Amino acid sequence: MNPFINRKYIVGGIFALIILIFISRLFILQVIDPSYKLSASNNVLRYITQYPARGLVYDRNGKLLVYNEASYDLMVIPKQVEAFDTAEFCKMLDLTKEQVLARLKAAKTYSYYKPSVFEKQISARAFAPFQEKLYTYKGFFVQTRTLRKYPQKIGAHVLGYIGEVNDEITKADPYYNPGDYIGISGVEKSYEEVLRGKKGVEIFMVDVHNRIKGSYKNGRYDTAAVHGGNLKITIDATLQAYGEDLMRNKRGSIVAIEPSTGEVLAFISSPSFDPDLLVGRNRTENYQILKNDSLLPLFDRPLMARYPPGSTFKTINALIGLQEKILWPSRTYSCVGGYRAGNFFMGCHNHYSPLNVKQSIQHSCNAYYAHEFRDLLDHPKFGSVENAYETWRNYVVSFGFGQKLGIDLPHEVNGYIPTLNYYKRIHGTKLKSLNIVSLAIGQGELLMTPIQMANMTATICNKGYFFTPHVIKELPEEFNSLKSAFLEKHKTAIDSVYFKEVIEGMFLAVNGTDGGTARIAQMNGIQICGKTGTAENPHGEDHSIFIAFAPKENPKIAMAVYVENAGFGATWAAPIASLMIEKYITDTITRPYLEQHILEKNLIDAKH
């Protein structure tokens, strides 16, 4: 009646076949193969995670920056706990009886049978006497962990810190279990996969009295922990330490870059903190103190603080002017103690007039750049001010401004270069060059981070290109791909021929015999080029800025120094940069009076 009636046997056969296969498999698993069986005496397995030592971090010269020290986590399995001498136990662990009971209860809530952490990070010294007594406390055992140690006590923001994983991480990545550590900031975060290594596990057979009966299956299912990979970072520990000293009692940051590679030599955020504070049992407490500090020591200024570039930005405007043929080396504008246009007046300081391109940088003439910027925006070849602005903005963006540079450290911010739309919203539809003339001297809405400023300096001394700033120098070979992004040369939209005038101007600003805004940075033996800047600060005294590189030929170091609320760029930022350069290039300081002057200056307490 139904032509396919016989197919019922096939369907039934498939059902029976699968069930039969399952039963055979179960027969092998449960009856024949002994490897999945435990002994009948109700032994249980204990999984002890073997935590790998986290990778070490070295500076560019091989100086150790981060290493590990053993510590011990006391674990408990509530099911196996028997009555014990609480008084002695409390004394040895420095806990109250209530704390002990509360923790036991918490462990029970988590699981009766699975181990939970009872006390974290017991130091080696505290652990020694306890270990002898451990066998009397049934249900307790110890798991070895490591703590990060910082022999140099520098570079807290670059190195970052580690902390326990939260629920989100453990859910997203099966590698992590509650209680594991993970890099939270700095290279600890960006190179977490390199540093963490690979966890292993040892499986033991444990009897009901919590005694280890031996390894399960002779270690057949054990896996060894793989030591984390070591990192060599580009930071120069000596320079970093020196910079942190110079910045003590001042707010601000220093970023120094090796222009030929983009390697970050120093990365200073001040005030900083001792990285050891965020390790060990007092970590949470210390973290709260640092977090609530009004000087924001945890704030990663080089990557996150946004300031206007001030007069240092005149270098960029000069380059754009040269490239667009608004300027040429001998082009002069006169300065009448400032720039006047109708009712508008922008002041300038005392210098001779008129000035050409390099002199305008040497003396940081505001009027010169107001003229140049307006000539650019109003130039008929662009058709409209809007088009001219877009052109200008594209040049600026090609230096890496207004976007994350892509440094291998977390939390970098974009900075801000106003868009045309922004101005349309503020000033209505028609953009007028006079309305935005403050951009000529690096004021107005421009916001840059210190790392972007240092990168700009490196780009200038490279005559038009940069490598993305980075802190990784060497890492285990299998991770080399993490470095590939830093080998790519980024070219700006300015032709290299135009940089000569600006570099010359920056040289004169420091070394000019007829005066210069940064004469204080001048020193014998090294040809330093620099440019001062002062960022207007609506909340208090202006920020002092200095960008510099040296030597003039084949530069070895390019940097940006920000000192908050310190007034003129020349006053504090310039001498700090000069000392840093000397320290890096010659490794000695020939101007102890200048060094003393900086070290003693306290720019924080004066205001608090």
Partner 1 sequence: MQNIKSNIWNNLDWVTIGLYFLLVTLGWLNIYSSVFSEDQLQESFFTTRYGRQLLWIGACFVIIVIALAVDSKFYSSFAYLIYALAIMLLLAVLIFGTRINGAKSWFVIGPVRIQPAEFAKFATALALSKFLSFYNLKPEKFKTLLMFGLLIVAPAGFILLQNDTGSALVFFVFFLVYFREGMPSVYLLFGILAMVLFVVSLLFETYIIIIVLEILALLAFFVFYRKQHETLIAAAILLIGTLITWFGISYFRPETSKTLLVLAGLLISSVLFLIQMYKHKLKTGFFILLVLFSSILFAFSVNYFFDNVLDDYQQRRIKVLLGIESDPFGAGYNVNQSMIAIGSGGPIGKGYLQGTQTKFKFVPEQSTDFIFCTVGEEWGFVGTTFVLLLFLALLMRLLFLAERQKSKFSRIYGYSVASILFFHVAINVGMTIGLAPVIGIPLPFFSYGGSSLWGFTFLLFIFIKLDSNRTQLIT
Binding-site ranges for partner 1 (CB under 8 A): 3-5, 7-8, 10-12, 14-16, 18-19, 21-23, 25-27, 29-31, 33, 35-38, 40, 42, 44-45, 47, 78-79, 108-109, 111-114, 174-175, 199, 201, 221, 223
The SS3 of residue 307 is: strand
CA distance 441 to 455: 19
Nearer to partner 1, 106 or 526 (CB): 106
Contact residues for 57 (Cβ-Cβ < 8 A; gap 6+): 64, 65, 66, 159, 187, 195, 230, 231, 232, 233
- E-only strand ranges, 312-450: 338-341, 344-347
Q: Shortest distance, CB of residue 113 to partner 1, whole angstroms?
A: 4
Cα dihedral 136/141/144/150 (nearest 10) = -70
CB atoms within 10 A of CB 489: 11
Q: Shortest distance, CB of residue 15 to partner 1, whole angstroms?
A: 5
Q: Shortest distance, CB of residue 21 to partner 1, whole angstroms?
A: 7
Nearer to partner 1, 10 or 128 (CB): 10
CB atoms within 10 A of CB 13: 12
Q: Shortest distance, CB of residue 199 to partner 1, whole angstroms?
A: 7
Q: Shortest distance, CB of residue 71 to partner 1, whole angstroms?
A: 23
Nearer to partner 1, 202 or 445 (CB): 202
Q: Minimal CA–CA distance to 262: which of 68, 466, 400, 92? A: 466
Nearer to partner 1, 4 or 593 (CB): 4
Q: Minimal CA–CA distance to 56: which of 211, 187, 182? A: 187
CA distance 502 to 217: 73
Nearer to partner 1, 171 or 381 (CB): 171
Q: Shortest distance, CB of residue 68 to partner 1, whole angstroms?
A: 22
Q: Shortest distance, CB of residue 4 to partner 1, whole angstroms?
A: 5
CB atoms within 10 A of CB 67: 18
Q: Shortest distance, CB of residue 171 to partner 1, whole angstroms?
A: 8
Q: Shortest distance, CB of residue 22 to partner 1, whole angstroms?
A: 6
The SS3 of residue 255 is: strand
Q: Shortest distance, CB of residue 487 to partner 1, whole angstroms?
A: 20
The SS3 of residue 546 is: strand
Nearer to partner 1, 103 or 404 (CB): 103
CA distance 65 to 471: 13
Q: Shortest distance, CB of residue 5 to partner 1, whole angstroms?
A: 8
Nearer to partner 1, 113 or 593 (CB): 113
Are the beta carbons of 67 and 149 closer than 8 angstroms?
Answer: yes
CA distance 593 to 595: 5
Nearer to partner 1, 24 or 496 (CB): 24
CA distance 515 to 508: 8
Nearer to partner 1, 172 or 336 (CB): 172
Rounded to 5, what percent of the chain is helix, strand, coil?
Answer: 40, 20, 40
The SS3 of residue 113 is: coil
In one-letter notation, the amino acid at residue 305 is: A
Nearer to partner 1, 175 or 416 (CB): 175
**β-bridge pairing 344-347 and 338-341:** antiparallel
Are the beta carbons of 361 and 505 closer than 8 angstroms?
Answer: yes
Nearer to partner 1, 174 or 347 (CB): 174
